Amino acid sequence: MSRLIRELLSEEDFRKLEELRDMLEEIIETIDLLLNPEALEGLREAEEDVDKGRVRSWDEFLKELKKT
């Protein structure tokens, strides 16, 4: 961000603007996801996997990853 803006804003205001920017980026990512049918189907499949117990622990995942 420009030096002028940093000089005009307090540290607290600048921090709040950064937080707002981050939140807006997250909202945009969510909207992008909701507009992507393939991504939504992937989420539905992932939820079904969790519901049916087709998951593994992080340690199991790492062990499998090291084998490949």
Domain positions in the chain: 3-67
Record the tokens describing residue 39, joined without a space.
């991504």
| pLDDT reported for residue 5 | 80
Q: Is 0.85 topped by the overall pTM?
A: no
Per-residue pLDDT of the chain (68 residues; tens, 9 = 90+): 578 887 899 999 999 999 999 999 999 999 999 999 999 999 999 999 999 999 999 999 999 999 87
CA distances from 53 to 1, 44, 47, 50 (A): 47, 14, 10, 5
Which three-class secondary structure state does DSSP give residue 53?
coil
> Which residue type occupies 25?
E
CA distance 33 to 43: 10
